[in-house]
Structure 1
Amino acid sequence: MKNWSLARQFFVGQLVFVLALTSTISWVLYLDAEDNTFDAASQRMLAVATTFADDPYVLESVESSDPTGRLQPYAVEVMDDLGVDFVTIMDTDRTRYTHRNPGEIGGKYIGSIDQALAGDPHVEVFTGTLGPSVRAIVPVFTEDDLVTALVAAGVTVDTVSIARNAQLPLVWLIAAGALTAGTLVSLVLSRHLRRATLGLGTEQLSRMFVFYDSVLHSVRDGLVLTDLRGKLVLYNDQAAALLNLPPSAPGDPKPASGVGLSPSVEELLMSGRRAVDEIHVTDDRVLVVNQEPAVPASGTKPLGTVTTIRDHTELETLSDEVQTMRTLTEALRAQTHEHANRLHTIVSLIELDRRGEALEFATRDLQQSQQLTDEVVAAIDEPFITALLVGKAAQANERGLHLVIDVAGTVETSGMDSRDLVTIIGNLLDNAFDAAASSSERSVTLAVYTEGEAEETIVIEVSDSGPGLSDAQLGNVFTLGSSSKGAAGTRGLGLALVRQAVHRLGGTIRVTNDGGALFTVRLPAVPRADHPQTANRSGEGELPRD
């Protein structure tokens, strides 16, 4: 029985319960029918005996010289008409005047008469000459209220049993109906339970729960179970850590829209759509998300979705570092290419014996390059940023763009992660180069300065001469997959990573249209030691947008 499915155990248990309940109800109905039959018989016999006792003819007959001769025919006629087994009229000393069996006339009445002699009617079940019977004994009073005779009327127990048994078909019908209805209901519930439990037994379900719960909390990937209404039914510890959720409480589903998820993750969980290796960027993590509907083996409609989440933050950090190195390499390559062209020009001038012009050209080029380097080095104490800006200047020159770098005063970046600064400036300049390349002016401006009385805020502004951003782009330009160039997915990850880097440094970023696009980043000169990991994820507030 322990290997039975939960549905079968439920059905058998319900069936046993219904049988026990039906048997109990049937027995109660049987006893009730028996009591009602005996009560009805007692009341009927009392009425017959009382009728005889109150009849003046009976009083007159018992006081006559031949009571039996006058009363026996009368009693027999009434017994036959009313279906009464016996009507015995007797003297106060128990001597019978009448009886169903004439041979018993003159004999002594067998039964209790003390209450009747005292003037009170009495009903009892007693075994007399005809066997066990239900009888009523009633006194016959004279005009002076003296008991002069007694009347006993009764029916045998067998006759009462026949009347009781006549009610048994109704009892059996009720019992059969209750048994049939209970069996059908149990069968329907059993089938529903079989579908709900996939035909598994209690021990199987218990083991499965233990195993699945262990797996749920031991896997390194985040796992989220969502119902059709977009509520978080269950999630493991890793998912709580990756999505900054409170610990999961079984039986207390939370709506995905009210727990502080990033907009893209919230939209995915609420939609219930399929997702394969989608990248979602939160304020502090880069997540790879897969989502599939949870469909039972029976193939019915989905019960919800199963979402797995992998943390690619470290991998993306390494990729970002590689991209940073690639950016610096490309910038240096452009600078090397430009310097090679200038060196060839100088060599050619020397070969043409135009040494003065060669010296002048080299001096002017050296002054321009050194001026930019000196300005950046003097203003920014981060060598990676200096190398990036010098390289970007060469890259802009190679692409035919006019890059203006305006670094005002001294910008203190110590304590800031240089990788985050390279991510912010590099991605914003790349976007600006792409936007300015399609304009007639082909210019990009980078301004870095400090503001505030104590110069506690570093401001980075990147503007271009491009077409600017549409209203829709202004609203979601920092969302993964969005692009300031208008081609979704080409720069969406870069801008999302910029937003993430700004958040890590405790700053804000906003974008407006000022001829072209203008990105403004504000960073605290001394970054926060502990910035909240659950900051505003919509791009507003912490990362305001116009």
Structure 2
Amino acid sequence: MRRGSLSLAAQAFVWQLVVLALMIGTGAVLAVLDARRDHDVATELQVRDVAVSVARAPSTLAAVYSPYPSGLLQPTTERIRADTGMDFIVVMAPDRTRYTHTNPERIGKPFTGNIDLALAGQTFTETFTGSLGPSIRAVTPVYDGGRVVALVSAGVTRARIGNQVASQLPVILGVSAAGLALAGFSSFLLSRRLRRQTHGLAPEELRVLYEHHDAVLHSVHEGLVVFGAGPGPAEVVNDQARTLLDLPEGPVHRSDLPLSLRQMTWGVVRDETHVTTDRVLLVNQDVVSWDGKAIGTVLTIRDHTELRAVLGELDSVRGFAESLHAQAHEAANRLHTVITLVELGRSEEAVAFATDELQLSQVLIDRMLAAVGDPALAALLLGKVDQAAERGVSLAISADTALDSTDPLSPQEAVTLVGNLVDNAIDAAAGTADKSVEVSVGHREQHLWVRVADSGPGMSAEMFARAAERGYSTKSDHAGLGLALVHRLVDRHGGAITTTAAPHSAVVVRIPLREKS
């Protein structure tokens, strides 16, 4: 997959920083503008109060009527200006002649600005560029009775207001910087978490990965189940997995899997055979790691039901072939014996030997065909007799065996059922002193009844159930895949399978007959 573009986490981090910087910068500008507006409002109130206070002072009216108003008013207004933080306090005559000013050189000169409203008896504020520059000023009348005899103007320059706002800038900028640093750190932490979750992939790579992932999941012919490291539901379950494992729609937990798959250990599993009620499955499991840490497991599942059926038939054919090979070898030995007896001139003994051997073989075949009406099952049992003999095990067909058909099983199912049970019994009996196996089949009490006993130690009911549930074969345990296949077949036909350990080890299968319509 191509690289080069920034990862999703890096892009998210950059965009978050840009957005946060813009938001915090905008907030800082708004905070400065708001501080300036607040200072303007506060200044308007302040200059108005100062101007009104000076105009209403009795000393002001008295000084206006004195021969030298400036000499009395200038010291007083300058003291008040210094105490209140005003940039100027001007007392003037109605004709605009100044009595006082911050700059004494301007005393006696006309006042610049609007005074019409004040002459009309109103107090007002305005922003005006006067002799000291742009300022916020208030103008109010001085009354003598009902007559305006003078005017008072108090003001603060814009430069002073700007200095006051500037004094707050370090606080505003400090708060903005702290906010940006905190937001940047939070964004960094979020970016790290996003990087871990996306494995550092870029958006384009994530899109391509998703498209390929979705296409593969729906096209692959193997079941795929992906679990994370935690106990939660599967992160991925494709359509084939739901079909093979008979899983419902919606989230899938490990508890929803067949029992043998639930009991799988965490680790690598290769070509393990599991048997469900309807299928034989080949399962592989791999552990997925990232940066040396296990992050989950991947189960791949293949359907081996048909293949296992073919292999079962192949095993039966191989057994027949091995049996025929053994019989051919034995027949060759007997033929050599007969030929040698004839060459020695003992013809009567040769005839008697050949007749006895033929009679024994024919008796066994006749008895088997009479007891078991299905030729495939009869051939299987004849082959198993020779197989058991090669391993030193005596395989006997019980006297109560009587089966005219394999109903309700098909001949192939009957071969699978009896063949697996006999193979397990031969394995168990081969290691004992008695080395014997007995097979009994028949229809009893509206059931197909199969009993295979052996001289082995047998299994308890708990061990038997556990071996059947396990669903995969082991070389150290004779009841592996074969027993699981038997259980699957019995369950499919609504039958029952039990085991006994005393007085002889035996497995008994009962399958109900179908009702005839």
- Residue in 1 that maps onto 2:259: 263
Match of 1:462 among 416, 427, 452: 452
Per-residue CA deviation, residues 382-408 of structure 1 (Å, 9 max, x unaligned), is: 211122234445555673536242556
> Does 1:480 pair with 2:482?
no
What amino acid is the match of 1:278?
E
Partner of 1:416, secondary structure, is coil
Distance 2:12 2:502 in 1: 73
Distance 1:311 1:411 in 2: 34
Could you state the TM-score of these two structures normalised by the residue count of structure 2?
0.83
**Counterparts in 2 of 1:406 and 1:68: CA distance versus 1, 3 Å:** farther
Partner of 2:99, secondary structure, is coil
**Counterparts in 2 of 1:345 and 1:78: CA distance versus 1, 3 Å:** same
Could you state the TM-score of these two structures normalised by the residue count of structure 1?
0.79
**Counterparts in 2 of 1:334 and 1:427: CA distance versus 1, 3 Å:** farther
Percent of aligned positions that are identical: 39
Match of 2:22 among 17, 20, 33: 20
- Residue in 2 that maps onto 1:430: 423
Structure 1 unaligned regions, length at least 5: 529-546
> Does 1:325 pair with 2:356?
no
Per-residue CA deviation, residues 424-465 of structure 1 (Å, 9 max, x unaligned), is: 11121222233344556554443333345xx2x322222334
Distance 2:365 2:163 in 1: 127
Distance 1:363 1:102 in 2: 154
- Residue in 2 that maps onto 1:125: 127
Query: What is the Cα deviation at residue 472 of structure 1?
Result: 4.9
**Counterparts in 2 of 1:393 and 1:184: CA distance versus 1, 3 Å:** closer
Distance 1:69 1:185 in 2: 67
* Bigger shift: residues 424-433 or 326-335: 326-335
- Residue in 1 that maps onto 2:377: 385
Distance 2:334 2:146 in 1: 153
Query: What is the Cα deviation at residue 219 of structure 1?
Result: 2.5
Contact 1:506 1:524 in 2 (8 A): yes
- Residue in 2 that maps onto 1:369: 364
* Bigger shift: residues 397-406 or 74-83: 397-406
Query: What is the Cα deviation at residue 415 of structure 1?
Result: 6.2
Distance 1:46 1:481 in 2: 98
Distance 1:343 1:514 in 2: 44
Per-residue CA deviation, residues 254-274 of structure 1 (Å, 9 max, x unaligned), is: 3221x2x22222233xx4311
What amino acid is the match of 2:19?
F
Partner of 1:467, secondary structure, is coil
Structure 2 unaligned regions, length at least 5: none
Contact 2:273 2:472 in 1 (8 A): no
Distance 1:336 1:526 in 2: 41
* Bigger shift: residues 303-312 or 156-165: 303-312
Distance 1:183 1:275 in 2: 46
What amino acid is the match of 2:18?
V
Query: What is the Cα deviation at residue 499 of structure 1?
Result: 1.9
Per-residue CA deviation, residues 493-542 of structure 1 (Å, 9 max, x unaligned), is: 221222233344443323343423332222232399xxxxxxxxxxxxxx
Contact 1:467 1:515 in 2 (8 A): no
**Counterparts in 2 of 1:489 and 1:518: CA distance versus 1, 3 Å:** closer
Partner of 1:303, secondary structure, is strand
Query: What is the Cα deviation at residue 28 of structure 1?
Result: 0.8
Partner of 2:230, secondary structure, is coil
Per-residue CA deviation, residues 51-91 of structure 1 (Å, 9 max, x unaligned), is: 32443322433354543332122112222344321112245
Contact 2:460 2:499 in 1 (8 A): no
Per-residue CA deviation, residues 131-167 of structure 1 (Å, 9 max, x unaligned), is: 221123345466x687654432111111111111122
Q: What is the 5 A alignment of 1:143-542?
A: 149-230=150-231, 231-246=233-248, 253-257=251-255, 259=256, 261-268=257-264, 271-296=265-290, 299-331=291-323, 351=346, 353=348, 365=360, 368-369=363-364, 372-377=367-372, 380=373, 382-393=374-385, 399=392, 401=394, 403-407=396-400, 412-414=405-407, 416-439=409-432, 442-452=435-445, 455=446, 457-470=447-460, 472-478=462-468, 479-481=470-472, 488-526=476-514
Partner of 1:229, secondary structure, is coil
Query: What is the Cα deviation at residue 422 of structure 1?
Result: 0.9
Task: Give the count of matched residue pairs.
Answer: 508
* Bigger shift: residues 318-327 or 469-478: 469-478
* Bigger shift: residues 158-167 or 59-68: 59-68
